[in-house]
């Protein structure tokens, strides 16, 4: 079974530039999550999708961050404009969203963003 795919793996940009990350979840997984992991901290949920609808985006800085999940499969996360404090690893995860494993999340390798 293929895992969660993310690209790019690494990205370096200057502040005020924009950047986009892509995630392809495990086939059949209805729920998709984007997390931000700042160095030395645990992951923090930014946004959660159930199919192509948003379930929770309470921690998403909506003035600069946006995310979409068209057709309920792939997702993109965008930052525009980036700030220095956005330097972090951005993790995508997916789960079945139903049954006994409803919230067992599988993580991708992450995208490491450096903002200079």
One character per residue 44-63, x = contact with another protein (rule: CB under 8 A): xx--x------xx-------
Rule CB under 8 A: choose which of 1, 40, 53, 63 binds another protein: 40
Closest CA to 33 of 23, 19, 20, 18: 23
The shares of helix, strand and coil residues in the chain, as percent rounded to the nearest 5, are 10, 45, 45
Closest distance between another protein and the C-beta of residue 14, in Å?
23
Q: By CB under 8 A, is residue 42 in contact with another protein? A: yes
Tell which residue, 92, 112, 107, 5, has the closest CA to residue 49. Answer: 92
Binding segment toward another protein, per CB under 8 A, in 17-25, 67-75, 76-84, 105-113: 105-113
Cα gap 57→66, rounded to integer Å = 10
Q: List contacts with another protein (CB under 8 A).
A: 4, 33, 40-45, 48, 55-56, 91, 93, 100, 102-110, 112
């Amino acid at each position: 079974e293929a895992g969660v795919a993310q690209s790019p793996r690494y990205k370096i940009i200057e502040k005020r530039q924009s950047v986009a990350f892509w995630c392809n979840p495990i086939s059949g997984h209805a729920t998709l999550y984007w997390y931000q992991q700042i160095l030395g901290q645990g992951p923090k949920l930014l946004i959660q999708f159930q199919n192509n609808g948003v379930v929770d985006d309470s921690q998403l800085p909506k003035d600069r961050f946006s995310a979409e999940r068209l057709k309920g499969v792939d997702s993109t996360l965008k930052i525009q404009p980036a700030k220095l404090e956005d330097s972090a690893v951005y993790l995508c995860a997916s789960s079945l969203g139903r049954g006994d494993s409803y919230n067992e999340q599988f993580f991708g390798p992450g995208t490491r963003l450096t903002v200079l």
